[in-house]
Structure 1
Amino acid sequence: MAKPTTLKIKLVSTEGTGSYYVTKKNPRTQTEKLKMRKYDPKLRRHVEFREDKIK
């Protein structure tokens, strides 16, 4: 069976609230860690989320 090209990753809030999003990433084209500004529902504002492994 072939390995899938996309990996599931977790985007964790940098503010330490514990909020996270789950998304996919192609590690062949995007080699650096993913950073995005997304909505944190616990803080009720947009903050930076960084890539982390799903455990």
Structure 2
Amino acid sequence: MAKGKEARVMIILECTTCIRKSENQKSPGISRYISQKNRHNTPSRLELKKFCPYCYKHTIHVEIKK
């Protein structure tokens, strides 16, 4: 049986503190992670606490649009 849409989709997670830093001053980069989520179980934007190599600490990473 064929399904209409795939449940699992690829998402990009981006550091929230690096975004704020880059607006005010020059930052070395923005931390991004690639992950998957189930569209049916989690329809809203995903927020995870991940390590940011530019901030040197664990920060909240939010899902961005591709």
**Normalising to structure 1: TM-score of the pair?**
0.83
* Structure 1 runs of 4+ with >4 Å offset: none
5+ long unaligned stretches in structure 2 = 20-28
Larger radius of gyration: 2
Higher strand share goes to which structure? 1
**Normalising to structure 2: TM-score of the pair?**
0.71
Higher helix share goes to which structure? 2
* Post-superposition CA distance 1:27-52 (Å, at most 9, x none): 11111110011100011101100001
5+ long unaligned stretches in structure 1 = none
Aligned-residue sequence identity (percent) comes to 26
What CA RMSD, in Å, does the superposition of the two structures yield over aligned residues?
Answer: 1.5
* Paired residue total: 54
